[in-house]
Amino acid sequence: MAEKVKSQTTGLDTPRTARTRWLPRLSPNPDAFGHATENFARFMGTPQFLLYMTVFCAVWLIWNTWGPEPLRFDDIALGFTLLTLMLSLQASYAAPLLLLAQNRQDDRDRVSVRQDRERAERNLMDTEYLTREIAELRIALREVATRDYVRSELRSLLEELLEANHEASDDAPARRNQRRRADTSGSSAAPGTLPKLNPGGREN
């Protein structure tokens, strides 16, 4: 029974972390490594890199062609095999570095696009909110007296006051005449006497 359980636990059911590793796990800092590769890829795309590579290859070829034979390290008869291998090695490493830099740039572009989309959505929501607020203000302002309406009401009230004042000024002479007549009729009677009345109630 114990052998059966042991056979069952030594297969694919065993967690991977429990297995022994022959080589140590490499875990470099992805940010630092990516930053270094981006700097190298950016430097490879500059004219300085091309100039340095041209000068390096020219010096290599000149030294191994016209230099002292004991000091030559790349034979011209073999077609500069070592230089070819070095350039191939550089190209084999440059391509993954460029791909890594491009992947990081794509990730940054993706993040920036997502942030732009979120910002656009927030701006759209703010615009819709402001539009609703403006519509509510317009509806509320329909019930509020505007400046033109108040001016028109004040103008009509002023016109009514002017008309009433004009009518009062026109009626003033007639009222004065009535007062004068009343004063003259009152002054013609003797003070302290009352009018005589007939038995029928008529005045004498």
pLDDT in tens, 105-158: 888 899 999 999 999 999 999 999 999 999 988 888 777 777 777 888 888 888
Is pTM beyond 0.75? Reply is: no
pLDDT of residue 1: 46
Distance CA 103, CA 111 (A): 12
10 vs 189, residue with greater confidence: 10
Distance CA 196, CA 172 (A): 34
Compute CA distances 145 → 101, 149, 150, 154, whole Å.
66, 6, 7, 12
Helices 47-66 and 81-141: crossing angle in degrees, nearest 10, is 180
| Sequence-distant contacts of 88-93: CB under 8 A, at least 24 apart | none
Distance CA 49, CA 39 (A): 12
In this prediction, residue 70 has a pLDDT band, given cuts at 50, 70 and 90, of confident
pLDDT in tens, 159-187: 888 888 888 777 766 666 777 776 666 55
